[in-house]
Amino acid sequence: MTLFKQIALLLSLFLLTILTTVLILNFQSANKGVQDRLYEDAKNTATSLSLSLGSANGDLSMMSTMINANFDSGNYRNITLLDVDNIALYDRTIEGDITAIPEWFFNAIKIEAPIASANVSAGWSQVGILRVQSDATYAYKQLYAILIDLVISFCVIASLSLIIINLLIHAILRPLREVQKQASAVIRNEFIIQNTIPYTKEFKDVVLGMNNMVSKVKAMFDKGNEELKMHKELEYIDQNTSLKNRQYLIDRLPEYLKIDASSKGGINIIVALSGMIEANEKLGHQDVDKLFLKIADIFRSNSKIFKNSIVARINPTEFSLLLPDCTSEKGLGIAKDIYDNITNEIEESGLNKDETFVSLGLYAYNHTDTIAQLFSNSDNALAQAKFNKNNIHLVKTENINEVMGKEAWKKIINQALLKNRFNFVSWSVIDTRAKKLEHHVLSINLALDKSTSYSYAQFMAPAIQTGLSNNVYKNVVSMLFKTPDMILSHSTYSLRLPYEYLDMKETYEEIRELLKNKALPFKLIIEMPDKMVRKDSQHIKLYKDLFQKYGIEIGIFEFIGESDDYQYLQELRPVYIKAESSYFVNQSAQSLSALRLITDSISISLIAVGVMDMKTVDELEKKGIYIIQGLATEQIEI
Amino acid sequence: MFKLRVLILLSLLLVNTTFSSEDYVEKPLLDEIAQKYKVFAKKRFFLLQETLNSVKDKSDLEKLEAVNKFFNDVRYSSDMKIYNMRDYWATPWEFLGKDMGDCEDYVISKYFALKYLGIDYKKLFFTYVRSTKFKEPHMVLTYFETPRSEPLILDNNNHKIFSASQRKDLTPIYNFNGDVLNQIGKDTKKSHKKWDQLKLNMKRKKI
C-alpha cells in the first residue's frame, strides 16, 4: 500500500472516529435533554394537578374527572393517584402507539419517561400521592428527527473533510511522488535529475541526495562512454589507411559465418603487396603511406556496392575484402579491377611494377565455414595467386553433397510450418563464479515425424536459402505466445530474434497482437542484434516500449562494441550484452574496463557466448567475464 | 471579668458535654460553624444538642414541644434581609448559625431535628398555608399521628402547638414532604426544586 493511501486511510479513520464520537455525544446529549424535558413536563403537571385535586376535598369522582381532563390531552403515559397507604385510588395508562418512527429506532433507543410525584391533600388532611409519567412518543419523534439531522450533518461534514484531507495530502505528498518517480527511474537504470526541489526538509534532503547520486552514476557512464569510444578507434582502426584492422575483421566474422547468417556466403579477397621494403627504400615511408591511402580508396570504391562488406588491413602488407553475396565471377572482376588500379598507382608513384606488385587470393566462402577455414582457404588462394601469371586466384570450396536438395528442404519446412512441427529446446547460460543458472536460451527443432527430426543447425541454413527463415521465426514467436506450456519450467528464457525478422514491418504488429492476447507464464528476454539496436533507434524504441509494457526484457547479441556512441545502451537498458568469447578474450584491458564502466553503471551483465572449453572459461574469468553460454556450461556443476 | 466568666462557663460546658457519633451536628461541622459564626453560635448548637438529648427517649409530643420551643426562640427575619434573596430555604446550620430566618427556615430546622429524634418523617409535612391574620402566605410544620388523623401545627408565629382545627387563622393550601416524594421518584432523585436544592446544600454541609 502506498504511503499516500496509508496516510489517507489513517486520517480518514481518525476523522470518522472523531465525527462519530461527536455524533454519538450529540445524540446522547439530545436524548438526555429530551428525557429531562419529559420529567419537567410531568413534574409541572403533577404539581399543578395535585393542587387542583386538593380543591376536590377528597371527592374521588371529582378527582378522577380532573385527572381524566389532564390525561386526555394526550401527553401522558400514566397518571396514578395513590392513597396514604399507597393503594391506587385512580389510574389511567395508555400504550404508546409510535408509528411515525422506524421500528429499529424504537428498539434501539429505550426511553423510559421518568415519573414525577406530588403530595395531594384536602385541607389539612392527606389524600395521598399523585404520580405522573409523560408519554415518550413525542420524545421518540423528536429524537428521531434529531438523529436524522445529525446524520445528514455528519455525512456532509465527513464528505467535505475527506475531500479536503485528500486534497491536502495530495498537495503535501506531491514532492514524494516526484521522489518515488526518481527512485523508480534509478531502479530502471534511468537517470532523472529532479529540478524542482521540495520545500519539506526531509523530501528536500532525499531529492538532493538522489540528484547527487544520479549525477555521479551519469558521470561514470559518460566517462566510460568516452573512454570506450577512444579505445575503439585504437582497437579497430588501422592508423595509416583508416581501414578496419584484423581484430575488427575477426570480431565481425561470427556474424557472417553462422547457420542463420543473413548472407549464405560470398567472396573474401586477400590482397597482398609484395616489394614494400624496396618501395620504402625507393620512395621513403611518407610516399609509401600515401600509396597505401590510395590503395585503401581503391578497396573502398570496389567494395561499397556490397551491403555489409568489410575492408580490413590484416597486416602491414595484406588486406582483406569480405564481400557478402558476391559471386565468383563478380569477385574475379573486382579482383581484376583492383589489380589494375593498384598496379597503375604503383607505376604512377614511380615504382617498378615487377618489383612492387599486388597479389589477390579469392576465396568463395560459405556461411557454414569457420573463421579458421575462411582464413586458411583465403591464405591458400593468395599463395596460389602469387604463382599465377595475373596474380589472381580463386579458390572454391567443393559443394557439400547435400542429402536433400533445396526443393526437398522447402517442402519439409513448409510442411513443418503448416502442421506446426517445431519443438522448443533450450540450453543454459551459467554464472561460473556464483555457480548458478542465469537463464535458458531457447532454440527449436523441426520434428517431421516420430523418427525424423532436424536440429536448428540442420534446417535453418536451408530455410534461409529458400527464403523461409522469417516464416520460421514468425511461427516460433507465435508458438511461444500461443502455446507457452510447451516450455515447462517457470524460469527465465531468452529468445534470439534476427535482424531480418525484426526489421520486417509486420513483425512489430504481430508481436504486439500476440502480447495483447496472452500473458507468458515465464520471464522472457528477447535478444536483439547489436547492429539493429545501435542503428535503428526509432524502430527499437517501439519494441522497447512494447516489451516494457508487458514486462519483457531486452538482451543484445553479437556485440562487438563497434558504436560511435554507447548512449544507446543507456536508452535501451538491456539486461545483458552477449558477445563471442573471442571478443572478450581479445579486448585490451583499457577497452574492457571502459565497457565495464558503462555496463556496471546501468547494471548490464556481460555474457560470453560460444564458450567451448574450460581453457576459454579461465581466460574469460581473468578478464572478469563470468557468465557464459556454450558447450563449456556442461562441464560446470551448479 | 465578665468575659472570663463566660469563658469558664463555656469550658465547663465543653467538658461536661459528651459528643457521640450520633450527635445532631458532628464535631468537624460544629468547629466550622464556630469558626464562621463565632463562639455563641457554637453554644446554640450545644444547647440544641442538650435539648434534643433531653427528649430523646420521650414521647412524640414531648419531642415536638421541645423542638418547637427551641427553634421558636430564634429571631424572625426575611430572606431578603439575611440572604438578599426573595425566597431561600436555609439549612438548619445556616438558620441556627445566623440565629435568624423566615417561616420555612423554622419548618426545615424543626423537621430535621424531629427526624433526628426518631419521628417517622412520613408523619411530618411542610404545609403551605395562608395566614388570615397577617393576610400573607406562610409555612408551618404539620405532624400527622396517623395519615388520616388531624395534624398538629408547629408554627413560629404562634409558639404553642395546636391541632389544625384550633388554628382558624390558617388556611391550608398544600402539604409537601420531600423525603416521601424522593422515595417514590427513586430514578430521578428530583421532587421539588427548593427541596432538592436544600438537600444538596445539606449534603455539601452549607453553613
Please state, in angstroms and rounded to a whole number, the distance separating the CA atoms of residues A560 and A571.
Answer: 18
Contacts of B190 in chain A (CB under 8 A): 39, 43
Residue B185's pLDDT band, with cuts at 50, 70 and 90, is low
Handedness of CA A253, A254, A258, A260 (dihedral sign): negative
Chain A residue with Cα closest to B173 = A123
Give the mean pLDDT of A487-495.
Answer: 80
Residue B8 has pLDDT above 50, yes or no: no
Contacts of B155 in chain A (CB under 8 A): none
pLDDT in tens, A262-300: 788 899 999 999 888 888 888 888 888 899 999 999 999
pLDDT for res B192: 79
Give the mean pLDDT of A168-186.
Answer: 82
- Cβ separation A116–B144 shorter than 8 A: no
Residue A451's pLDDT band, with cuts at 50, 70 and 90, is confident
Residue B82 has pLDDT above 80, yes or no: yes
Largest CA distance in chain A: 165
Contacts of B179 in chain A (CB under 8 A): none
Contacts of B162 in chain A (CB under 8 A): none
User: Would an 8 Å CB–CB cutoff place B140 in contact with chain A?
Assistant: no
Ranges of beta strands (E only) in A8-159 are 76-83, 88-93, 115-122, 125-134
Give the mean pLDDT of A191-208.
Answer: 83
Report the share of chain A in percent with pLDDT over 90: 21
pLDDT for res B59: 93
Residue B75 has pLDDT above 60, yes or no: yes
pLDDT in tens, B90-105: 999 999 999 999 999 9
- Cβ separation B181–A118 shorter than 8 A: yes
- Cβ separation A39–B125 shorter than 8 A: no
The Cα of A33 is separated from the nearest Cα of chain B by a number of Å equal to: 14
Q: What domains are defined for chain B?
A: 27-204 (3.10.620.30)
Among A39, A85, A124, whose Cβ lies nearest the Cβ of B172?
A124
Q: Which are the contacts of A232, defined by CB distance < 8 A and separation ≥ 6?
A: A561, A562, A563, A591
pLDDT for res B6: 46
Classify domain A406-635 at the CATH topology level. TIM Barrel (3.20.20)
Using only the alpha carbons of chain A, give its radius of gyration.
47
Q: Which parts of A353-404 fold into alpha helices (H)? A: 371-387
Instruction: Report the run of H or E that residue A629 belongs to, with start and end.
Output: strand A627-629
Residue B186's pLDDT band, with cuts at 50, 70 and 90, is low
pLDDT in tens, A467-489: 888 888 888 888 888 777 767 66
Asked whether A583 and A577 are in contact (CB, 8 A), the reply is no
Residue B7's pLDDT band, with cuts at 50, 70 and 90, is very low
Residue B86 has pLDDT above 80, yes or no: yes
Contacts of A39 in chain B (CB under 8 A): 188, 190
Give the mean pLDDT of A228-251.
Answer: 85
Nine-digit cell string for B144: 400527622
Between β-strands A357-366 and A453-454, what pairing exists: parallel, antiparallel or unpaired?
A: unpaired
Handedness of CA A169, A171, A174, A176 (dihedral sign): negative
CA angle (A386 as vertex; A384, A390 as ends), nearest 5: 100
- Cβ separation B172–A43 shorter than 8 A: no
The Cα of A127 is separated from the nearest Cα of chain B by a number of Å equal to: 8
- Cβ separation B188–A116 shorter than 8 A: yes
Contacts of A116 in chain B (CB under 8 A): 185, 188, 191
SS (H, E, C) A484-496: HHHCCCCCEEEEE
Tell the residue number behind the cell numbers 382545627, with chain if given: B165
Please state, in angstroms and rounded to a whole number, the distance separating the CA atoms of residues B128 and B27.
Answer: 34
Residue B107 has pLDDT above 50, yes or no: yes
- Cβ separation A119–B151 shorter than 8 A: no
- Looking at mean pLDDT, say which of A421-425, A604-608, B24-28 comes out highest: A604-608
Contacts of A124 in chain B (CB under 8 A): 127, 142, 150-151, 164, 172, 175
Please state, in angstroms and rounded to a whole number, the distance separating the CA atoms of residues A273 and A278.
Answer: 11
- Cβ separation A121–B175 shorter than 8 A: yes
Please state, in angstroms and rounded to a whole number, the distance separating the CA atoms of residues A79 and A63.
Answer: 12
Residue A553's pLDDT band, with cuts at 50, 70 and 90, is very high
A to B CB pairs, distance under 8 Å: 58
CATH number (3.30.470.20, 3.30.70.270, 3.30.930.10, 1.10.3720.10) of A243-396 reads: 3.30.70.270
Domain ranges of chain A: 3-158, 243-396, 406-635
Q: Which residue has the higher pLDDT, A52 or B192?
A: A52
Give the mean pLDDT of A403-419.
Answer: 82
pLDDT in tens, A53-79: 888 888 888 899 889 888 887 788 899
Residue B2's pLDDT band, with cuts at 50, 70 and 90, is very low
Between β-strands A492-496 and A436-447, what pairing exists: parallel, antiparallel or unpaired?
A: parallel
- Number of helices (H), then strands (E), in chain B: 8, 7
Give the mean pLDDT of A421-436.
Answer: 90
Task: Indicate the CATH number for domain A3-158.
Answer: 3.30.450
- Best B174, B177, B182, B194 member to test A by mutation, with max A CBs in 10 Å, is B174
The Cα of A57 is separated from the nearest Cα of chain B by a number of Å equal to: 12
pLDDT for res B4: 47
- Best A126, A131, A132 member to test B by mutation, with max B CBs in 10 Å, is A126
Which burial class, exposed, middle or buried, applies to A60 when counting CB atoms under 10 A from its CB (0-12, 13-18, 19+)?
A: middle
